[in-house]
Chain A
């Protein structure tokens, strides 16, 4: 993983164990395609466009977009459209249509159904009166029912019911309701016996500017929050909402703010793991991590028997409980017999201080050793889950840095327009996404039943391959790019770098997409072929058995192998080593220089 020519498959074949793009006929990636042969051709086409900037567009065509990200303007527009529609169809005012829609949680069809089933009932429930219950006073003075002062009718207002109140009392009434919260959207006439709704028109006329602004926020929020198809993006400070076509498959959505989340449970995006597992895992983390952190922070394993020991008092001379009875120094964990005056006596340990300076006490090492208890398994998954999480955060920060600083610099040094450097951004986006998927595979692994050995083995194989593939991409985008960033002027081989990184991005994307699909299917391929049957097929995801990896790849297979899939209908052939789709006449792979 350390040299640039890792991508050269001749080398890679020698070190097949950490190279999942290699493997001759048993190519793991080629196998990944065959897991879903319908997609295989599409994926191949995608490779053709590796060098161009629209490969991403092609990729998105593979999944039909089942959601729409809405800005506040979009929301208001939709809201307005719905109101107009109802207003037109039912021949009622827009104000009335808005009240009606809000009452029925912004479902246009529900409004239609209810209204045409029993208009009178709907009007009564919602508070839309057809005619005033009392005649609004004209000309003469009237007493406001709230402040008891007399006013001429030009200073009185009433909802559709006709109950008159003075403008300042209305402003107070509306203002109080608005400051009480979203309930102001269901405001009724102040008269206790009257259910007439107070609409937007009265708000506009009578409320203060500040209150109008608040009301308008509640109004737009209602369209998202009361609506069954729409949810706010949960990212802090993000104002976008996501409209989702319920029942259309994967819940993972990516907001325009770039935050990816699950539309169903509004936790961060978590494919391939399902919502209930995520909830379980998060709950477990919050409970267990406390527990574990406490143990890690407050105890050390006995250097002999490995049981965790809490030091709750006294000197550094520890005697482990029977039957172990080992006497050791709490600080350096060495045998107490080696201690004495010269090592600092009872209260300090010079050996420890010296060794600590030399970095001998590796926390991770200690933690691994400590895992002799029930937490071990959980710790294993949790650590990796958390590591990928922080890796992802780091990658996000790097991506940011890349976009704000490095790309411009690179563009200057390499004399490339920034538009031609999009492949770098794409690589980093892919890294971020892969870290996310990888992270959740650890929650997946934790809940994968212990006794399903074949599945576990297959899962661990897939996960391992994914991990090393991602490392390769990460390495290329991070380290290898550095060379070009530090160069004095344009590098000759920059185009090769581009091809390599774009290729890695694409291959990794495909691998992860297939991984996600396989895990979402509950690794059903394993079921289909029995727990331990060694498949003869070489076109399998884990089919690298010829590399002495047989034990890890058993049980894996494809639903439908495509014979001679090296050539597709358009005459392209995909490289057996790196899966790049080459043009028909090429005899050497443009990506990895392997012969056909």
Chain B
């Protein structure tokens, strides 16, 4: 079974995620694959995503922690750094990855990204443009999408 040789680091990280979860974040490993995590992030207060519950999937590749985890939004979200497939534009998931980072730090960074969209480094060109030309309207759309798709029903 794939989980038999799980590195101690992953086991420890998992234990800690379960025993002391970060506020607004939950991550639990899949039963049949300990490298696959079901993640939920609560929309940060005072952001257009407030009140939403966002589902993500997180996978630890074979090379982890030398390589970054792979993370993707499963819930539809209107955000300039997240595309329609849920892929996230975040430096620590790419070239700024360091093995000293963890699942917890990655998820906290994603949470922070929800509070502070960065339309200057967009993944979704259209949404970023919307954000830059008419921020109020874009924020409204984000709120609308949160209500429609992330209301936790």
Residues of A near any B CB (own CB < 8 A): 145-149, 163, 165, 169, 172-173, 175-176, 190-192
Asked if A146 contacts B92 (CB within 8 A), the reply is no
A175 cross-chain contacts in B, Cβ below 8 A = 66
| Chain B nearest Cβ from A142, distance in angstroms | 14
Stretch at the interface among B29-37, B46-54, B98-106: B98-106
A460 to B11, alpha carbons, bound, how many Å?
81
A169 to B8, alpha carbons, bound, how many Å?
13
B66 cross-chain contacts in A, Cβ below 8 A = 172-173, 175-176
A192 cross-chain contacts in B, Cβ below 8 A = 92, 96, 98, 100-101, 105
A148 cross-chain contacts in B, Cβ below 8 A = 8-9, 12-13
- Tell me whether B67 is interfacial, beta carbon within 8 Å: yes
Which residues, 60 to 86 on B, are CB-close (under 8 Å) to A?
63, 65-67
A161 to B17, alpha carbons, bound, how many Å?
29
Chain A: which residue is nearest B92 at the CB level? A192
Known contacts: A169-B99, A172-B99, A191-B98. The answer to whether A147 contacts B92 by CB under 8 A is: no
Residue contacts A-B, CB under 8 angstroms, 7 given: A147-B65, A165-B100, A172-B66, A172-B99, A175-B66, A176-B66, A191-B98
Asked if A146 contacts B100 (CB within 8 A), the reply is yes
- Tell me whether B7 is interfacial, beta carbon within 8 Å: yes
Residue of A148, A172, A176 with most partner-chain B CB within 10 A:
A148
Which residues, 107 to 144 on B, are CB-close (under 8 Å) to A?
none
Count of chain B residues with Cβ under 8 Å from any Cβ of A? 16
Residue of B9, B13, B98, B100 with most partner-chain A CB within 10 A:
B100
Asked if B8 contacts A146 (CB within 8 A), the reply is no
Chain B: which residue is nearest A147 at the CB level? B9
Residues of B near any A CB (own CB < 8 A): 7-9, 12-13, 63, 65-67, 92, 96, 98-101, 105
Known contacts: A173-B66, A176-B66, A176-B67. The answer to whether A145 contacts B12 by CB under 8 A is: no
Asked if A190 contacts B98 (CB within 8 A), the reply is yes
A176 to B66, alpha carbons, bound, how many Å?
7
A282 to B22, alpha carbons, bound, how many Å?
61
Chain B: which residue is nearest A173 at the CB level? B99
Other than the given A146-B9, A148-B9, A173-B99, 12 more pairs (CB < 8 A) read: A145-B100, A146-B65, A147-B9, A147-B65, A148-B12, A149-B8, A172-B66, A172-B99, A175-B66, A190-B99, A190-B100, A192-B96
Chain B: which residue is nearest A170 at the CB level? B99
Known contacts: A173-B66, A176-B63. The answer to whether A146 contacts B99 by CB under 8 A is: yes
A191 to B8, alpha carbons, bound, how many Å?
19
Q: Is chain B's binding surface mostly helix, strand, loop or mixed?
A: loop
A189 to B12, alpha carbons, bound, how many Å?
23
Q: What are the 8 A-B residue pairs with the smallest beta carbon separation, nearest first?
A: A176-B66, A190-B100, A146-B99, A148-B12, A145-B100, A147-B9, A148-B9, A192-B98
A165 cross-chain contacts in B, Cβ below 8 A = 100
A400 to B22, alpha carbons, bound, how many Å?
73
A190 cross-chain contacts in B, Cβ below 8 A = 98-100
A146 cross-chain contacts in B, Cβ below 8 A = 9, 65, 99-100
A147 cross-chain contacts in B, Cβ below 8 A = 7-9, 65
A450 to B65, alpha carbons, bound, how many Å?
67
A80 to B58, alpha carbons, bound, how many Å?
46
A149 to B7, alpha carbons, bound, how many Å?
10
A172 to B100, alpha carbons, bound, how many Å?
12
B65 cross-chain contacts in A, Cβ below 8 A = 146-147
A176 cross-chain contacts in B, Cβ below 8 A = 63, 66-67
| Chain B nearest Cβ from A195, distance in angstroms | 11
A172 cross-chain contacts in B, Cβ below 8 A = 66, 99
A175 to B99, alpha carbons, bound, how many Å?
12
| Chain A nearest Cβ from B130, distance in angstroms | 32
A149 cross-chain contacts in B, Cβ below 8 A = 8-9
Chain A: which residue is nearest B97 at the CB level? A192
B100 cross-chain contacts in A, Cβ below 8 A = 145-146, 163, 165, 190-192
| Chain B nearest Cβ from A272, distance in angstroms | 46
| Chain A nearest Cβ from B143, distance in angstroms | 32
B13 cross-chain contacts in A, Cβ below 8 A = 148
B12 cross-chain contacts in A, Cβ below 8 A = 148
A191 cross-chain contacts in B, Cβ below 8 A = 98, 100
| Chain B nearest Cβ from A178, distance in angstroms | 11
A219 to B130, alpha carbons, bound, how many Å?
45
Residue of B63, B66, B99, B105 with most partner-chain A CB within 10 A:
B99
B101 cross-chain contacts in A, Cβ below 8 A = 192
| Chain B nearest Cβ from A158, distance in angstroms | 12
| Chain B nearest Cβ from A582, distance in angstroms | 72
| Chain B nearest Cβ from A56, distance in angstroms | 52
Chain B: which residue is nearest A192 at the CB level? B98
A192 to B9, alpha carbons, bound, how many Å?
18
| Chain B nearest Cβ from A163, distance in angstroms | 8
| Chain B nearest Cβ from A147, distance in angstroms | 5
A147 to B66, alpha carbons, bound, how many Å?
10
A169 to B99, alpha carbons, bound, how many Å?
9
| Chain B nearest Cβ from A209, distance in angstroms | 19
Chain A: which residue is nearest B7 at the CB level? A147
A134 to B41, alpha carbons, bound, how many Å?
34
| Chain B nearest Cβ from A156, distance in angstroms | 13
| Chain A nearest Cβ from B3, distance in angstroms | 17
Chain B: which residue is nearest A149 at the CB level? B8
| Chain B nearest Cβ from A564, distance in angstroms | 73
A145 to B12, alpha carbons, bound, how many Å?
12
A536 to B52, alpha carbons, bound, how many Å?
96
A173 cross-chain contacts in B, Cβ below 8 A = 66, 99
Chain B: which residue is nearest A190 at the CB level? B100
A420 to B151, alpha carbons, bound, how many Å?
94
| Chain A nearest Cβ from B66, distance in angstroms | 4
A146 to B63, alpha carbons, bound, how many Å?
12
A536 to B151, alpha carbons, bound, how many Å?
98
| Chain B nearest Cβ from A424, distance in angstroms | 58
A156 to B63, alpha carbons, bound, how many Å?
21
B8 cross-chain contacts in A, Cβ below 8 A = 147-149
A478 to B98, alpha carbons, bound, how many Å?
66
A169 cross-chain contacts in B, Cβ below 8 A = 99
B98 cross-chain contacts in A, Cβ below 8 A = 190-192
| Chain B nearest Cβ from A169, distance in angstroms | 7
Chain B: which residue is nearest A175 at the CB level? B66
Chain A: which residue is nearest B11 at the CB level? A148
Chain A: which residue is nearest B12 at the CB level? A148
A163 cross-chain contacts in B, Cβ below 8 A = 100
A163 to B98, alpha carbons, bound, how many Å?
13
